Amino acid sequence: MSSGVNRPEVSFWRGKRVLLTGHTGFKGAWLAYWLTRLGARVTGIGLAPSTTPNLFSLLALSELGDSHISDIRDAESLARLIRGADADVVFHLAAQPLVRASYRDPLGTFATNVQGTANVLEALRGSSSTRVVVAITTDKVYRNLELAFPYRETDPLGGHDPYSASKAAAEIVVASYRDSYLKEQGVAVASARAGNVIGGGDWSEDRLLPDAVRAWSSKRTLRIRNPSAVRPWQHVLEPLAGYLQLAERLWSKPQLADAYNFGPHTHECATVQTVVEQARAAFGTGDFEFERDARGPHETQWLALEIAKARQVLGVQPRWSLDEAVRRSMTWYREQIDGADAAELCARDIDAYEAAAA
């Protein structure tokens, strides 16, 4: 564990009007809850939660802020909601976030991730209140050459699968709206490319720890498709702290508007097998086996992010090791299964994370 970035500045966020798209998703729910704790006035726009259980409902977020169930592909409805929010800061997280789902529905993925992003930015043209926009993409926006080096923000964009391609295209949309319209309007627009996120409260399909929890809590064997794949795993609070810090810095220094990677140190990147073994140790029980002839769409074997820019420009530094991130995630799930309140579990992790920067 290492300290670096200051914890979110309460005096900055207290009373801020914050628009958060995708507040019903895993990362969005964590961010909405954290912002509410910081005293922000949060307006959320997102689809109805796609899983049962889901963190949005467990945290009762519809009661904590101004919540709207709406599709960002509906430009007219979205523009009306964005104008009504009159936000100071916008976090755009709404997306189709799954690689394998993008193979099943490429057009829906492109419509949400590309056109949906354009719809959000278009609705902000002419806004008299918004000063900062942080658009969230992914670590998979880079043209991956399967080489063992971390990607930096200046590397070429690309995407083999529809999800990655749609997020790379969204990056181009973000840069275009920043340079063509929003910079002149006084809005600082940045994109954030985050690594593989883990943490309590994710029940999405085709994600490693949720799949493990589902299997092990019902005494089934977890089947692993790609045990040797290397990813930049990080606890969900790591990139969220980066997004908050980025927004704070853009407020006072709009010239910093650009693309930023958020992830672990390169030496903390790990294989799927390593994470599964750590997860089982933390969960306390569970069997897993590898699918020797796993069939399925193409998946990248090696992926890491160079985070020097976020460290040097923003002061963002990873705090929790991979082992601690996995342990905290599995402890969250174990205690939630045993009846603990999700809000208390999230608050405990946030308190611990903020204390690491004190």
pLDDT level of residue 295 (50, 70, 90 thresholds): low
What residues contact residue 312 under an 8 Å CB cut-off, 6+ apart?
Answer: none
Is the confidence at residue 6, as pLDDT, over 70?
Answer: no
What 3-state DSSP class applies to 1?
A: coil
What residues contact residue 70 under an 8 Å CB cut-off, 6+ apart?
Answer: 45, 46, 47, 77, 78, 81
Say which range, 27-31, 141-145, 184-188, has the weakest mean pLDDT: 141-145
Q: Which pLDDT score is estimated for 275? A: 98
User: How many residues in total does the chain contain?
Assistant: 358
Is the confidence at residue 3, as pLDDT, over 60?
Answer: no
pTM of the entire predicted model = 0.96
Where do the H-state alpha helices sit in 1-54?
10-13, 26-37
Question: By the 8 A CB rule, do 344 and 33 touch?
Answer: no
All domains in the chain, ordered by first residue: 10-199+233-267+302-320 (3.40.50.720)
Q: Which pLDDT score is estimated for 257? A: 98
Contacts of 284-290 spanning 24+ positions with Cβ under 8 A = 284/334, 285/216, 286/212, 286/215, 286/216, 286/222, 287/216, 287/221, 287/222, 288/212, 288/215, 288/221, 288/222, 288/223, 288/224, 289/221, 289/222, 289/223, 289/224, 290/223, 290/224, 290/227
Give the pair of three-digit tokens for residue 68. 């709207």
Q: Express as a percent the part of the chain with pLDDT over 70.
A: 96
Question: By the 8 A CB rule, do 166 and 158 touch?
Answer: no
